[in-house]
Amino acid sequence: MKHWAQNGFKALLSACVLSMMATVAWSQSLTWLGVLPGGDWSWAWRVSADGAVVVGVAQNAAGQWRAFRWTVDGGMQDLGTLGGSESEALGVSADGAVVVGWARNAAGRNRAFRWTVDGGMQDLGTLGGSESEAWGVSADGSVVVGMAFNAARQWRAVRWTASGGMQDLGTLPGYNRSYAYDVSADGAVVVGWADNAAGWWRAFRWTASGGMQNLGTLGGSESAAYGVSVDGSVVVGWSDDAAGDWHAFRWTVDDGMQDLGTLGGDWSQAYGVSADGAVVVGWALNAARQYRAFRWTVGGGMEDLNTTYASLLTDGSEL
């Protein structure tokens, strides 16, 4: 069910691709990134540290998904595939030079890729199975995280480096499935979700010394982590509460999991966190059960960005 909900949400809002850019004077502008020639929609997933490079997926003239890399000067660039028909970019390095995601190979299988300006798209392989995906990359582009099938066709969270190849990060005790979604700037801390012994999703934080740590829930049965701060000390994602509603969370080493609330509805999810861990972004339902982009801070709580940036949304668009 969770995969269906996330993909449905993406399809609903895929036309609304934007970049919010702040100057030193804290003025904001809204930049529409456009689409690939002949395509109808695009979706942005990640942005470089300085906001100059955006990556995501857009439809091409043939109606296929294609990974893109966007810059102010160059516009939207189709990054191609690994010999198949489709691809999607899901992560970018701090300087925007390295892009990661998945692409179809000639056999029609999804494979994790690492793309660079000089080297193009590189297939990162699998754990002995047929497919893999890359979702996050370290600041310098040297560490890639995601998931891959092993020989038993079990999805496993992975961490890839040029010297070590693809490393299986294991699972939580009692089950055999895990996914990694993000990695700290230095590549040392990986976050995602893994099934526990009862088969419920649980957010995890992985380190080489400590292995896979279960981050718990907000009183319910499931959780997942999607973002981590530069130093790996702050993790964000979602968890269900005792009532079974999904709520965005912010987890810290010292304080554990904090419920970030909603915008008047019953669901929210956090997808990203600032370098210092102080600002969290994602989506939440408002009282009318409409999906709305939010920004959360310790001092201000959760704000609807449609309200904050209402002056920029003069064409009836929604965040």
Tens of pLDDT along 270-293? 999 999 999 999 999 999 999 999
Q: C-alpha dihedral over 287, 291, 294, 300, to 10 degrees?
A: 0
CATH number, domain at 267? 2.120.10.30
- Structural domains counted in the chain: 1
pLDDT at position 13 over 90: no
317 lies in some domain: no
Model confidence at 25, pLDDT cuts 50, 70, 90, reads: very low
Q: How much is the average pLDDT of 254-273?
A: 97
Give pLDDT tens digits for 223-249. 999 999 999 999 999 999 999 999 999
Which whole-number Å values give the CA distances from 213 to 192, 195, 198, in the listed order?
10, 12, 16
114 lies in some domain: yes
Residues forming a β-bridge with 240:
246
Nearest to 201 by CA among 178, 181, 174: 178
Q: Compute the chain's Rg from CA coordinates.
A: 19
Which whole-number Å values give the CA distances from 242 to 164, 184, 190, 248, in the listed order?
42, 30, 27, 14
Nearest to 66 by CA among 99, 18, 96, 93: 99
Model confidence at 66, pLDDT cuts 50, 70, 90, reads: very high
Q: Which domain holds residue 214?
A: 2-312
CB 181 within 8 A of CB 160: no
- Among 12-26, 51-65, 115-129, the range scoring the smallest mean pLDDT is 12-26
What backbone phi and psi angles, to 5 degrees, belong to 242? -65, -25
296 lies in some domain: yes
Which whole-number Å values give the CA distances from 276 to 4, 33, 163, 204, 268, in the listed order?
32, 27, 29, 20, 22
Q: How much is the average pLDDT of 166-192?
A: 96
93 lies in some domain: yes
pTM of the model: 0.91
CB 292 within 8 A of CB 305: yes
What backbone phi and psi angles, to 5 degrees, belong to 10? -65, -45
188 lies in some domain: yes
Helix (H, G, I), strand (E, B) or coil at 215: coil
319 lies in some domain: no
201 lies in some domain: yes
Q: Is 73 left (phi over 0), alpha (psi -120 to 50) or beta?
A: alpha
125 lies in some domain: yes
